[in-house]
Chain A
Amino acid sequence: MSAVLPTARPRRSRPRGVLAPVALLVIVILIAFALVPGLIAPDSPVALNMADRLKPPSFAHLFGTDEGGRDIFSRVVFGTRYSLGVAIAIVFASALFGVVYGAVSGMARGSADNVMMRIVDLFFGFPALVLALAVAASIGRGLGSVALSLTIIWWPGYARLVRGEVLRLRERPHVEAARALGVSNLTILRRHILPFVAQEVNVRVTTDIGYALVAVTALSFLGLGANSPTPEWGLLIRDSRPYFGSAWWYLVFPGTMIMLTATAFSLIGDSLAARRGG
């Protein structure tokens, strides 16, 4: 009987590699920024202080100040909540919807699967920027509309990934054995397929947070996202453009934060993938 029992379990995966601990540290710091910005940032992210207008980095202002004399470090710290928060929300919402959709599609097979996957193709073909513009036009510009439009673009990736995994896993011996024992489709999906899919999804989610962050900040940079004075990172870069020649720090620090964050999530994603593969 032991051959029939679902002994096959997904191996635990843990980030590894030389850079992975550094990336983890960066992410821990970012999470601290997002959760308790008031404890970390030295100044208010919005209060104007014209006497300190466009001051270069110093001990008083680690990242310098902007055109309103606001401390850019404080703005970056407070902005983490918006930039990273929205990116995480987009990826989680997409993953949740995509996994359910993909699993249902994979289990259903046949014409239902066919129709569901054509719908996915339809969403894949939609240009993100055009959709973001349309959403902004209908519900107004803001981080909410950015989150909505990027989620609409993002979920099909998960749906397709999960459907493929489900199709592959459902032919595996332990699944066939479960089916032979008369276990219901829902239970098979929940107990014998999804735990394996979860690994793939974890890797994807981790890597995607970095990409979503870049997409969120890009839309804000284009003026479709956050509104002033929200210290969202993309908006900081947008606001910094007129001063690039005279205040490099204004552009460089928020830009570096975006790069560091995206890289950290990408590295963690990679090490998760390597762990799973090895």
Chain B
Amino acid sequence: MKSLSGIAGTALLLMASAMGVNSASAQDATTFVYADAGEPSTIDPAKANVNWEFTVTRNVYDRLVDFDLDDPSRLLPALATEWKQDGKVWTFKLRDGVTFHDGTPFDANDVKATLDRLLKVGQGQSYLVDDIASVTVVDPKTVQIETKAPTVFLASNLSRIEMMSDEDIAKHGGEAGEAWFSENANGTGPYAFVAWTRGTQIELKRNDKWWGKFPEKPFDRVLDRFVTDGANRARGLEGGEFDLANFVPLDEALRIGSTSGFHLVEGNNLWAWPAIYLNMDIPPTNNKDFRNALVKAFDYNAMVQSFQGKAVVGRGPIPAWFPGSPEKDQPEIKTDLEAAKAALAASGLSNATMKCSVPAGFPEFRFAATILQASAAQIGVTVEIEELPFVEAITAIKTDKSNCFVLGNANLSPQDATKFFSAHYLKGGFFNSGKFEDPALQELIAKLPSVSDPAERAAMLKQASDIVVDSHYIIWPARPVTVVPEPDRIGGYRIDPAEYINARFWELYSK
């Protein structure tokens, strides 16, 4: 995995300070106003990597396959209607009669151009398909993709990759300047890009010629507003200024959801929120017994209570609802002060002091660190908390200036856990901030995609998961349920288990 391509192993949510946006009312039944947590830096599908960029790319472009949000192990046809794997070669049959918003037809050349460009650019979600060796156009409706090694996950990972037009890529790509794609979009998707008013909003309009099916009373026009302050999004949603908002702080979400005119949509998509990474390289956290003492001392109940009960305590890195998850066969992780004291005694490190760097702007992250501080104090360990901007915080642990780092985890792939493991627990992974290394884990993750028997894969995934758990590299304070308040006048919002947080405008309708 090269440079920063591992970034999207986790949905990164970098919220800035308050910035309100004045706006018209959202009550117009044909216009949908969405309060997004940020302004995209790009809407190029080859580079987009944060939720408010996906808001545009996911709705304007289509993907070869889709997956069932209620059962991510089931793939559904999208731009491809059929597909099959034969060793390293996957063959996709493409849908007939699909056109881009500019009127040009969609065919196999578009798929090849898109994937070639994505891998060449090497940013955004390219890490999900970086095992592709070559793409071949068989005929206008058939495309063959060869991977470097056999992988059963290619189709599921392609459910995240947006298809662009080869004419656009020829015209605007290459040396001529990729800049066009950063601020323009021509897809085959349910909504077409209309305009981007800098600092305010992006406007989309419904694509009547879309191949898919809209619900009754869909929205003809979507305004994607940039509202960086969570409290402002919450208040705008409550006041009817917005039809929906992403990242509404949990306390606000629960409160708004219980008022009349609103209901709550709940779902699973988080792997950990947060996860506490311990530095394997410097004392005292380079001592396994010491890490074990922290894991055992941590007050998990306090974290679950801070989520007002809307959370479970993870037993390992992979959530129970993920296809093939070993979680049900793993032991619970619980607070056990006696065991923590015994582990601390075994470590020989009494009265230790450690530093924890926390990315600023995430109340849950800071609170997890506060709980760690209070829990560690009970066994005589001092934790100093330092809140820093995201990049400074992750740099602090990577450069051994800090013992611990706090981060939230989600996984963009609906079926493939190996990309997540690569980014978080393997050598060189961008989020492997505490520098964990294990040769056996490396080998398991490399081999897993080539195994065709699901039972065998599940067994391997359990081994991989156990290695991470037994190392005590990570403290998983909680795995919250995602809660989204939806106005009663709107219907159709569903939580995407592999994205935090999504907006599928084509499924939404007014009641």
Contacts and interface: CB of A to CB of B under 8 A. Distances in A.
Interface of A: 46-48, 50-51, 53-54, 67-68, 140-141, 223, 227-229, 239, 241-247
Nearest to A49: B302
Interface in B293-339: 299, 301-302, 305-306, 308
Interface stretch (B38-46, B132-140, B385-393, B433-441): B385-393
Q: Which of B230, B299, B370 has the most CB of A within 10 A?
A: B370
Nearest to B18: A241
B370 A68 contact: yes
Given A50-B301, A53-B306, A141 B388 contact: yes
A223 to B, nearest CB: 5
B373 A53 contact: no
19 contacts: A48-B374, A50-B301, A53-B306, A53-B308, A67-B363, A68-B370, A140-B386, A223-B360, A227-B386, A229-B370, A229-B373, A241-B231, A242-B251, A243-B251, A244-B231, A245-B231, A245-B249, A245-B255, A246-B251
B299 to A, nearest CB: 7
A47 B251 contact: no
B367 interface: yes
A245 B363 CA distance: 15
A167 to B, nearest CB: 45
Contact of A245 (B251, B306, B366, B386): B251
B371 interface: yes
Contacts of A241: 231
Contact of A48 (B255, B302, B384): B302
B209 interface: no
A66 to B, nearest CB: 10
Interface in B357-402: 360, 363, 366-367, 369-371, 373-374, 384-388
Interface of B: 230-231, 234-235, 238, 249, 251-252, 255, 299, 301-302, 305-306, 308, 360, 363, 366-367, 369-371, 373-374, 384-388
Contacts of B360: 223
B234 A245 contact: yes
Contacts of A46: 374
A50 B304 CA distance: 10
A242 B249 contact: yes
B386 A50 contact: no
A141 B302 contact: no
A68 B299 CA distance: 12
A244 B363 CA distance: 13
Contact of B387 (A50, A53, A223, A246): A223
Contact of A246 (B255, B301, B367, B374): B255
A50 B306 contact: yes
B408 to A, nearest CB: 15
Contacts of B301: 50
Given A50-B301, A229-B385, A246 B306 contact: no
B305 A50 contact: yes
Give the dominant DSSP class at A's interface. Answer: loop
A68 B305 CA distance: 9
B251 to A, nearest CB: 4
Contacts of A50: 301-302, 305-306
A239 B363 CA distance: 7
Contacts of B230: 242
A146 to B, nearest CB: 14
A210 B295 CA distance: 44
Contact of B370 (A48, A51, A243): A48
Given A47-B374, A242-B363, A227 B385 contact: yes
Q: Which of B299, B367, B369, B371 has the most CB of A within 10 A?
A: B367
Given A223-B387, A245-B235, 11 more contacts: A48-B299, A48-B302, A48-B371, A68-B371, A227-B385, A229-B370, A241-B231, A242-B249, A242-B251, A245-B231, A245-B255
Nearest to A235: B387
A50 B308 CA distance: 10
Contacts of B235: 245
Nearest to A229: B370
Q: Lowest 10 CB-CB distances: which A-B pairs, in order?
A: A50-B305, A242-B363, A246-B251, A242-B249, A228-B385, A50-B302, A245-B252, A246-B255, A48-B374, A223-B360
Nearest to A222: B17
A228 B369 contact: yes
A228 B231 contact: no
Contact of A67 (B238, B367, B373, B385): B367
A53 B305 CA distance: 8
Q: Which of A46, A48, A68, A241 has the most CB of B within 10 A?
A: A48
Given A48-B371, A67-B306, A228-B370, A54 B386 contact: no
A228 B306 contact: no
A241 B388 CA distance: 17
Nearest to A51: B305
Nearest to B388: A141
Contacts of B373: 228-229
Contacts of B252: 242, 245-246
Nearest to A230: B385
Q: Which of A47, A140, A141, A228 has the most CB of B within 10 A?
A: A228
A50 B231 CA distance: 23
Nearest to B252: A245
Contacts of B363: 67, 239, 242-243
A247 B251 contact: yes
B367 A68 contact: yes
A54 B370 contact: no
B21 to A, nearest CB: 18
Contact of B231 (A51, A223, A229, A242): A242
Nearest to B392: A137
A55 to B, nearest CB: 13
Contacts of A243: 249, 251, 363
Contacts of B299: 48
B370 to A, nearest CB: 6
A41 B360 CA distance: 29
Contacts of B234: 245
Contact of A228 (B238, B308, B387): B387
Contacts of B388: 141
